[in-house]
Amino acid sequence: MTTASPSPLRLALGVLGWTFGCALAAPFVTLALIVPFYLADKVCGTPGDSGGCEMGFGVMVIMSPLAGATVGFVVGLVRAFRRTQTA
């Protein structure tokens, strides 16, 4: 039994869905990974730190959607390619 190959629009929407989904999830994952480091570092939050830890962590969370979108785009492309190969 053969199946029809998926339409290009459906494949593109799947890639976009993975891209946006990972871009939205990346800040939450990054924050969950950073908080234990913040809590474990005894220098963070002290007057001698002058907010360096907070600014570094904030920048990581703010910039993480770029990395998440890249990962999601690659995952979406791989899934679309595999879908066209099995069809």
The string of pLDDT tens digits covering residues 1-49 is 556 778 989 999 999 999 999 999 999 999 999 999 989 988 888 888 8
Per-residue confidence (pLDDT) for residue 43, from 0 to 100: 87
pLDDT above 80 (res 83): yes
Residue 1, domain member (yes or no): no
**Predicted model pTM:** 0.82
Residue 4, domain member (yes or no): no
| φ, ψ at 4 (rounded to 5°) | -70, 145
First-to-last CA distance in the chain?
10
Residue 9, domain member (yes or no): no
Residue type, 80: A
Per-residue confidence (pLDDT) for residue 3, from 0 to 100: 66
pLDDT above 80 (res 68): yes
CA angle 68, 73, 75 (to 5 degrees): 95
Residue 6, domain member (yes or no): no
Residues contacting 83, CB < 8 A, separation 6+: 6, 11, 14
Enclosing domain of residue 81 = 15-86
Residue 66, domain member (yes or no): yes
Q: How many domains does the chain have?
A: 1
Residue type, 74: V
